Amino acid sequence: MKTPEDALLCPITLELFRNPVMAQDGHTYERQAIEEWIRKNGTSPITNQQISLEHLVPNYAIKKMVDHFESSLHNKNFQYTLDVDVKKKKGRPLFQTFGKTIYSAEWLPSNAGCPEIILLKIDGARANKEASFYVNLSRHPHIVRTFGLVHEDDGDKNSIILLQEYASEGSLYELLTERKKPIDEKILIEIFCQVLDAMSYLALNDVVHGDLACRNVLVFRFDENDPRNNVVKVADFGLSRYSKIYSQTTTMARTTLNIIPKRYCAPEILSTNVTANDYTEKSDVYSMGVLMWEAYSRGAIPWTNIESDDDVVRRVRNGDILPKPTNCSPQYWDIITKTWNKLSNQRPTFDQLKKLFKDQLYQTTTSASKPSMF
């Protein structure tokens, strides 16, 4: 396991410290995370040397740095000014699509002791909530953290800018398409469970994602040898035309808020008389199934053999489902297909999906560990 460049992040959770402790290996960890690690492994996650619970020591210096950073967020009321508190780094945007641009950024006056950040600009949108809402909603280990809103003097009033943490490994889509070999199924299941955990949290807070796909899952750490060592986070939640988080402006620009990702959508969203009430946890569950198919298919476009989106819409509204990827085990495919029930009330919730996957993973692991009788 690599240590993060940011001294304020736990190398296990990749989250800001809350209760930092130093271990015998000289590295600092979040107490709960390192205690769980030691109980399971007995060794350092970084140096692999033997370490023990008895020798964990509070790191007050790191705690003070984190408290200072957190208090600065509160003092700003999670509101920042471009070129005063943060600035865009020179060079091209990291990513750009219809109505959405991501810029590499840095804190002012200095990046020292602060998490790496990006600026997410959403055109054609206004914030429906206070900045603290975004910050508090993103306080989840598998949701990309938002530090606040950024105001740009003389900027476009028909857009908002979010200040968010930076994912060094890029998106899950990039990981899937750039690797020479498929990702092991056990790692995919771990990734799915982390996404499901995040989506359960959003559903609990009555937030519909509206654009769940591999491109909107960011990878903060990838380890092809140990599924538990992978960390992914959900990004771009609430980017739908009926979002309770953002409202559309009068601009006619094509944005992420008014483009429907038809190949990922539930049949009720593709209806000609779709309303705000059709965007629910269950419509996100349908998209989660497509995301899982996409991950097994190494980033392939859903319904890749059908050129016309209108033909895809007809197929989905008719109840047709995507074909089983060859590398997907039957027991997991059975779970995935439950997300595509034509009737939304017959689909599982995210909590139920997570339990189905974890139960199946447990059964698979225990059966594989049993000694053969022959």
Same domain, 160 and 180: no
Given this model, what pLDDT does residue 44 score? 95
In the predicted model, is pLDDT for residue 369 greater than 70? Answer: no
The answer to whether 292 touches 192, Cβ cutoff 8 Å, is yes
- State the CATH number of the domain containing residue 179: 1.10.510.10
The owner of tokens 């006056």 is 109
Same domain, 225 and 344: yes
Sign of the C-alpha dihedral computed for residues 135, 128, 231 and 330 taken in this order: positive
Q: Which residues are catalytic?
A: 211
Domain finish residue from 145, 165, 185: 165
| Neighbour count for residue 248 (Cβ, 10 Å) | 16
The answer to whether 78 touches 109, Cβ cutoff 8 Å, is no
Given this model, what pLDDT does residue 374 score? 45
The answer to whether 345 touches 268, Cβ cutoff 8 Å, is no
**Selection from 128, 125, 132 nearest residue 147 by Cα:** 132
Rounded to the nearest 5 degrees, what angle is found at the Cα of 217, between the Cα atoms of 330 and 188? 25
Task: Kindly report the backbone phi and psi dihedral angles of residue 308, in degrees, each rounded to the nearest multiple of 5, phi listed first.
Answer: -90, 130
Given this model, what pLDDT does residue 252 score? 59
Same domain, 125 and 208: no
pTM: 0.87
Q: What is the mean pLDDT of the chain?
A: 91
**Is residue 117 one of the residues assigned to a domain?**
yes
Given this model, what pLDDT does residue 353 score? 97
Domain that holds residue 151: 74-165
In the predicted model, is pLDDT for residue 201 greater than 60? Answer: yes
The one-character DSSP state at 371 is P
Distance CA 249, CA 238 (A): 15
* Number of structural domains found in the chain: 2
Domain finish residue from 110, 134, 165: 165
Distance CA 22, CA 44 (A): 11
Task: Mark 27-49 as b/e (b = at least 16 C-beta within 10 Å).
Answer: bbbbbebbeebbeeeeebbbeee
Cβ-count burial of 339 within 10 angstroms (0-12 exposed, 13-18 middle, 19+ buried)? buried
Same domain, 140 and 182: no
Same domain, 261 and 197: yes
- State the CATH number of the domain containing residue 145: 3.30.200.20
Q: What is the mean pLDDT of residues 201-220?
A: 95
- Tell me the per-residue pLDDT of 51-106, one tens digit each, with 9 for 90 and over: 999 999 999 999 999 998 888 888 888 999 999 999 999 999 998 888 889 999 99
Given this model, what pLDDT does residue 4 score? 60
- Give the amino acid at 129: K
In the predicted model, is pLDDT for residue 3 greater than 70? Answer: no
Give the three-class secondary structure for 1: coil
